[in-house]
Amino acid sequence: MVKWNIPDNEHLRQLDFYDPFSHAQRVTIIGAGGIGSWVTVALAKLGVRHLRVIDPDSVESHNLSTTPYRQIDIGVKKVHALQSLLHEFKRTMTAVPKRYAGGQLPRTDVLISAVDSMEARRLLFKVVQKQKIPFYIDGRIGGENIRVYSIRPTSLVDRQLYRSTLVPDHRIAPLPCTGQQVMDVGLTVAGLIVRSVRQWAVLRQYNPEVIVKHYCLVSLVASPVEIAHEEHRGE
């Protein structure tokens, strides 16, 4: 049922899916590039009120085609550019313009990895477990291939799944600088990550592993609960 006593109707169209006045997750995003920038904007649009984004880099011209950054943002720290962008639609975030080296994070309910190396992912996964952060999401892009891992650190099965994906960086074939990411892929992975945040916040449901081969629009979703449900329906 729609809560008509909310201050305004800005979120009216999506209240059945996520009510920002009932949920107050604290979300930290590490990385503000082709994944993290879109995730930040989308979470703010969803209504997530406690956002912290950590990234040391500044906006460069080659970022403009695959991120929400603007010409006026070139040379500006990415997190500050995001702050300015969110301010235009009356949203706020905490900007941390430095490289994250594994120190203690402020209270966080969801940690999102939007980094570009396996070494950085290993570091973040250690932090998640050490600080007992309830939910961890890792988005990955390789050309037109997408993977999103949504992990409960308290789950042994989830931990084993995620660790099995942390191959050494030298085993990953490098992509040409002109074939690393394309606009629609960045939006797709951001949408999957925001969906994962929403499902976790509202229903405590999640898919541990989502694989999308974007070039042929084939999706493989690993979810033991959903698989069992479908098998039951087919009987």
Q: What is the pLDDT of residues 8-61, one digit of tens each?
A: 677 777 877 888 888 889 999 999 999 999 999 999 999 999 999 999 999 999
Buried b or exposed e, range 37-60, using 16+ CB within 10 angstroms: bbbbbbbbebbbbbbbbbbeebbe
| pLDDT score of 215 | 67
Q: What is the mean pLDDT of residues 220-228?
A: 54
Report the predicted TM-score, pTM, of the whole model to 2 decimal places: 0.86
Mean pLDDT of the chain: 86
3-state secondary structure of 4: coil
Distance (Å, rounded) from C-alpha 65 to C-alpha 174? 21
Distance (Å, rounded) from C-alpha 54 to C-alpha 144? 25
Q: What is the mean pLDDT of residues 128-156?
A: 93
What are residue 174's DSSP bridge partners? none
Instruction: Indicate whether 162 pLDDT > 50.
Output: yes
Under a CB-based contact definition with an 8 Å cutoff, are residues 99 and 30 in contact? no
Distance (Å, rounded) from C-alpha 156 to C-alpha 35? 27
Distance (Å, rounded) from C-alpha 101 to C-alpha 90? 31
Distance (Å, rounded) from C-alpha 212 to C-alpha 185? 10
pLDDT band, residue 225 (cuts 50/70/90): low
Residue where the block lists tokens 């999506």:
14
Put residue 102 in one of left, alpha, beta given phi > 0 → left and psi -120 to 50 → alpha.
Answer: left
Distance (Å, rounded) from C-alpha 64 to C-alpha 74? 9
Question: pLDDT, tens digit, for every residue of 46-87?
Answer: 999 999 999 999 999 999 999 999 999 999 999 999 999 999
Distance (Å, rounded) from C-alpha 152 to C-alpha 66? 30
Q: What is the mean pLDDT of residues 148-165?
A: 95
Question: pLDDT, tens digit, for every residue of 84-95?
Answer: 999 998 899 999
What six digits make up the tokens of 219?
Answer: 């999706």
Note the CATH architecture for domain 22-167+174-234: 3-Layer(aba) Sandwich (3.40)
